[in-house]
Amino acid sequence: MKSLFKLAIMGTQMALMATALGAELRLDKDGSMSNVPVHHQGNLGTCYAHAASQATDAYIHTFSRGNQNWHTSTTMLGTEYRDNFITHIFGKNGDIEGGYVCTSYRRSIKKNGACDESTIEGLLDKMYTGTQRSYRVARIFTDLTLSFNQTKKLSRDLGEAAYSQGADKLLAALTQTGALAAELPSAEEVARALHSRTNLQFAHKFFGHLCQHTPRVRLNDTKCRNHHLWLRGKRGLTKLIKEVRARLSKKNAQPVMISYCGNVLSQGRKYRGLGNTLLDPFKTATCGYHASAIIGVREQGNTTQLLVRNSWGEGCSGYSPDWQCDKGNLWLDAEVLAKNMTDYHLLEGKR
């Protein structure tokens, strides 16, 4: 028995040593990301929502039994985040493009709970058959915004009658595309939603109806913490690698979300979009500010590489040959990534 006990201890010690020495770690291989698919944001600038939703899914899959097929709605996350106090006060129209990972998490998921994307995806599948899946969300946003704007113009001439007419016209158009009336808001609900001050508020209320089909998952015990990468030299690199390895080596490990210059994905090792500290200006006119998730780490000779889960689909076109691509996941040199990063974000809970 003693010898077996010693062997068990030795096995644990060897595993810990392997992790410390740089063994490859991947959360998409039997980890918290194994049931989280690669997203495709299409032509919408909603990378922040995809990064936040993937981290949410990893957390739900890890700690909520029976929810392995849950996929948090980026559509709802984006509309709830962008439909904020500014649009309420000033009544400005806007879109869901551009945002911050942790802020979007707090304003949507932390506040209201996670909404299952399947209810919205199921409707979009019926409405936009033949349209590439990644562009269906963009398509319905365009259609909803057009309907909202037309109704607002009509209301100047027709008054209250314009809202009921606008609701009937929108629902008729949606049912013609294949949507079932039972899945859509009622004409009265749509008419009330059309009274919104902005197109984002309208979209928020429209998609909110779809989220009522399944209970939202509440994550009251979680916090999304933002960490600035103040230094981008050797000290910043050391801190980043240490944080990622520690995070991915934990029991029930969760991904590390990052904000960085997305141009590094297409331009490779030579690209440098940022200065040496957080206070330095961008070195290029636009660095393609982007958000993704780190889900793995490995050593390639003397180089530490981080596995970045992107949100441009499972294809590998458009990326630099410097990076090894695996169905939408890319191995990037940690040193290069650190020089192009502004922040990393951690979704943490009590469990």
Percent helix, percent strand, percent coil in the chain, to nearest 5: 45, 15, 35
294 Cβ contact partners less than 8 Å away, ≥ 6 residues apart: 244, 248, 255, 256, 257, 258, 306, 307, 308, 309, 344
Q: Specify the amino acid at residue 192.
A: R
- How many C-beta neighbours within 10 Å does residue 11 have? 10
Distance CA 225, CA 92 (A): 29
Ordered per-residue pLDDT tens for the chain, 351 residues:
445 444 444 444 444 444 445 689 999 998 999 999 999 887 778 899 999 999 999 999 998 765 778 889 888 888 888 776 555 555 566 667 778 999 999 999 999 899 888 767 777 777 776 665 555 666 777 788 888 888 888 888 888 889 898 888 888 877 776 666 667 788 888 888 898 888 888 888 888 777 776 778 889 889 999 998 877 777 888 888 999 999 999 999 999 999 999 999 999 999 998 876 666 666 666 789 999 999 999 999 999 999 999 999 999 999 999 999 999 999 999 999 998 998 999 999 866
Domain limits of the chain?
Answer: 15-34+221-349, 47-211
Q: Which two tokens stand for residue 5?
A: 């006990």
Helix/strand/coil (H/E/C) assignment for every residue in 231-293:
ECCHHHHHHHHHHHHHHHHCCCCCCEEEEEECHHHHHCCCCCCCCCECCCCCCCCCCCEEEEE
Q: Specify the amino acid at residue 208.
A: G
283 Cβ contact partners less than 8 Å away, ≥ 6 residues apart: 272, 273, 274, 275
Query: What values do phi and psi take at 3, rounded to 5?
Result: -65, -40
**Predicted local confidence at residue 10, as pLDDT:** 43
15-34+221-349, CATH topology level: Cathepsin B; Chain A (3.90.70)
